[in-house]
Structure 1
């Protein structure tokens, strides 16, 4: 899918569609509906980029998953000769790493799927984790989300703009296709995903210049997907479930030419079309990020491929290629693209510009929430509407900045298009771009009837948990227990809230970690059921964490056992794996060995 910041970018040009777009805080508790809109046949698939939990400060639990049916977790990568990553210097992240799982470096056959960022994916501690948990990081939080929201399905997305360099090699032989397919089953089972999404950017041509390409990619892509489908079906028969297989697809005519879409449609569950990033700062004339319909004025202004680069034309191209409508999912962006120094004619639209303005996280790219809070009819920016393309745009005449984006009105046109064409639903990039849930709510209201999971069903809340008690404290954690609640159908878990944060657990005890020493915390607990009903909060208890323990400073040449604690640059760390330290093995640099307490 599209990746912004340090990992992936999507971009459209004549012969290729370039995908441009490539801290943990406590969970603010929200009583959200937690089951699927099973009365709707539409899908809403939202991407969560692993790096959202870094500097963007958007952890997994911030997603309002009551309004989606699926989460695509971006990204896993492909291991080749013991490493993964893409050293292409033209890419946003030109480096490689050893192939790893949550425990460290692993040896796997070429073409195997591996964690993209083992630290954030599976090793980093979040609230509620303990150092001894076998799996932590984002993947554990996704599992907890599914436990709390039984309707929710999670899909691991492999590749993306940065990490598509080994797809051609992997698809080229029967053996590496087998390796990939076997590893897909292992990955889904181990990390409790419900499916896999192949985001190959792109077969035959396109993508980063250093990627592998072959003319045979056209056929090999189909063979790779069939190998995965066969393995997923066999695993599903054993596991008593259906494992989903999807792809992310470019919207250009070149992509359709370079893939056997009719054959692929017979293999996959659905195809997510990347119907955005049609125009951006790589070109000098302002135009629209994600127009729904063709605007002849764009062609008149010299915008390349305007007749093809819009949502309706892309969908029609897939229909013409033999893809059933209900297997087509329309992509929508939760961000806009901008230019600066644009001439004032037409309020900056289709005008010559001099560059790109600073964006939310990278030049020229603006999260919708940033636009909503700071730009739309604010600070000199005026909203305008293109009634042909059915998209809004902003223009500030004082600095010549033009920003094309999507809002509630344009989303309404896109959901109406999905319904009128009988498409499978909507896919969006990505959750953190819409922190106020403005666009997500519109998608859910239109396609999932507001995300109501249980129309006419169970509305009885569980009983209030009783007996909440503190069972232990450390300088960084508080342990709690309580009596089980009851429910007319069944309790599926509990939410412990404290000092403005909360964490989901499945049993009647929890250790809340990551707390500050010598600090008072007040806790309460609520029960939840499968229909998303929450009980009233229990009676509160207060506990104070212990004073910070004395810990020695980290030093090279010292043997450290599991659980030993050291300080380094004023931060307390706990040892995860027994080892004798070496120069350069300081805790922040070797996260597999040390975990901040």
Structure 2
């Protein structure tokens, strides 16, 4: 992680030099980071992030994935009373390590995951599962999840403990964020006084349904579309207007 801190410093020095020796404005420096500052073998250098980056995108999702998790899980849980794998804990850890809330941009997933239940008679969050369902890795975008629910007439259930929606069709269990969950998470962004939020990713939405839900919660925000290196669709970021 020491080398990462040096890299951030070199980037900032280059940005300052370019702006000083040209008519261009200073570039914005950001990084995508995991939900918590601590990783398995090291920790992010919060001092370097605070000093050299404008903000960080906190990837607050993929806490559980059917390819490796043997139980169904809320992959983007806002809260979890029995585990540290949740957004509230992660954001608190970043702030607790000294990073300002105003440098944190929260990631919202516009996709969910499908598991195959080991026993369809047991379907709560944390139920034993045998692996992915529907797709190779179990991932499904929000639009496809809605279509699946409509096709099979599935009943959607909300879990307020984790702040997640899920549905069951036979032995298939799907967890995802919907309009109400997005609203709650954007309210969390405001309550924590974070810089804003981003989504992964815009094309996964269904006719802008989730995007509009978030935007309606923020009447004094500006909206940026940042290009996605993997495709041309971009990622929506909302930042408070100054």
User: In which range does the TM-score fall when normalised by the shorter chain?
Assistant: 0.7 to 0.9
Query: In structure 1, what is the equivalent of residue 143 of structure 2?
Result: 369
> What CA distance in whole angstroms lies between the structure 2 residues aligned with 1:349 and 1:342?
13
CA shift for structure 1 position 239: 2.7
> What CA distance in whole angstroms lies between the structure 2 residues aligned with 1:451 and 1:272?
16
* Contact residue 342 and residue 348 of structure 1 kept, 8 A: no
**Given the superposition, is the C-alpha separation of residues 414 and 346 from structure 1 closer, same or farther in structure 2, using an over 3 Å criterion?**
farther
TM-score, scaled to structure 2: 0.84
Q: Secondary structure at the match of 1:272?
A: strand
> What CA distance in whole angstroms lies between the structure 2 residues aligned with 1:450 and 1:437?
17
* Contact residue 291 and residue 311 of structure 1 kept, 8 A: yes
Q: Say which structure is richer in helix.
A: 2
Deviation string, structure 1 residues 488-510 (Cα, Å, up to 9, x no partner) = xxxxxxxxxxxxxxxxxxxxxxx
Query: In structure 1, what is the equivalent of residue 228 of structure 2?
Result: none
**Given the superposition, is the C-alpha separation of residues 221 and 279 from structure 1 closer, same or farther in structure 2, using an over 3 Å criterion?**
same
CA shift for structure 1 position 358: 1.9
* Contact residue 50 and residue 100 of structure 2 kept, 8 A: yes
| 1:319 aligns to 2:113 (yes or no) | no
| 1:334 aligns to 2:118 (yes or no) | no
Query: In structure 2, what is the equivalent of residue 232 of structure 1?
Result: 15
Alignment of 1:214-293 (within 5 A): 218-237=1-20, 238-252=22-36, 254-255=38-39, 257-281=42-66, 282-293=68-79
CA shift for structure 1 position 259: 1.8
> What CA distance in whole angstroms lies between the structure 2 residues aligned with 1:440 and 1:284?
31
TM-score, scaled to structure 1: 0.35
Q: Secondary structure at the match of 2:38?
A: helix
| 1:416 aligns to 2:187 (yes or no) | yes
Query: In structure 1, what is the equivalent of residue 218 of structure 2?
Result: 447
5+ residue gaps, structure 2, are 225-242
Query: In structure 2, what is the equivalent of residue 488 of structure 1?
Result: none
* Contact residue 8 and residue 48 of structure 2 kept, 8 A: no
| 1:382 aligns to 2:155 (yes or no) | yes
Q: Secondary structure at the match of 2:29?
A: strand
If asked which structure has higher relative contact order (CA below 8 Å, sep 6+), I would say: 2
> What CA distance in whole angstroms lies between the structure 1 residues aligned with 2:102 and 2:204?
27
> What CA distance in whole angstroms lies between the structure 2 residues aligned with 1:421 and 1:252?
16
CA shift for structure 1 position 363: 3.1
CA shift for structure 1 position 435: 4.3
**Given the superposition, is the C-alpha separation of residues 345 and 322 from structure 1 closer, same or farther in structure 2, using an over 3 Å criterion?**
farther
* Contact residue 339 and residue 355 of structure 1 kept, 8 A: yes
Q: Secondary structure at the match of 1:354?
A: strand
> What CA distance in whole angstroms lies between the structure 2 residues aligned with 1:424 and 1:452?
12
CA shift for structure 1 position 331: 0.9
Alignment of 1:167-186 (within 5 A): none
Larger Rg: 1
> What CA distance in whole angstroms lies between the structure 1 residues aligned with 2:126 and 2:184?
22
**Given the superposition, is the C-alpha separation of residues 222 and 335 from structure 1 closer, same or farther in structure 2, using an over 3 Å criterion?**
same
CA shift for structure 1 position 346: 5.4
RMSD across aligned C-alpha pairs, in angstroms? 2.2
> What CA distance in whole angstroms lies between the structure 1 residues aligned with 2:89 and 2:128?
25
**Given the superposition, is the C-alpha separation of residues 452 and 270 from structure 1 closer, same or farther in structure 2, using an over 3 Å criterion?**
closer
Deviation string, structure 1 residues 175-230 (Cα, Å, up to 9, x no partner) = xxxxxxxxxxxxxxxxxxxxxxxxxxxxxxxxxxxxxxxxxxx2111110110011
5+ residue gaps, structure 1, are 1-217, 297-306, 454-597
Q: Secondary structure at the match of 2:144?
A: helix
> What CA distance in whole angstroms lies between the structure 1 residues aligned with 2:27 and 2:80?
37
CA shift for structure 1 position 319: 0.4
Alignment of 1:179-198 (within 5 A): none
**Given the superposition, is the C-alpha separation of residues 228 and 450 from structure 1 closer, same or farther in structure 2, using an over 3 Å criterion?**
closer
CA shift for structure 1 position 450: 8.2
> What CA distance in whole angstroms lies between the structure 2 residues aligned with 1:333 and 1:317?
20
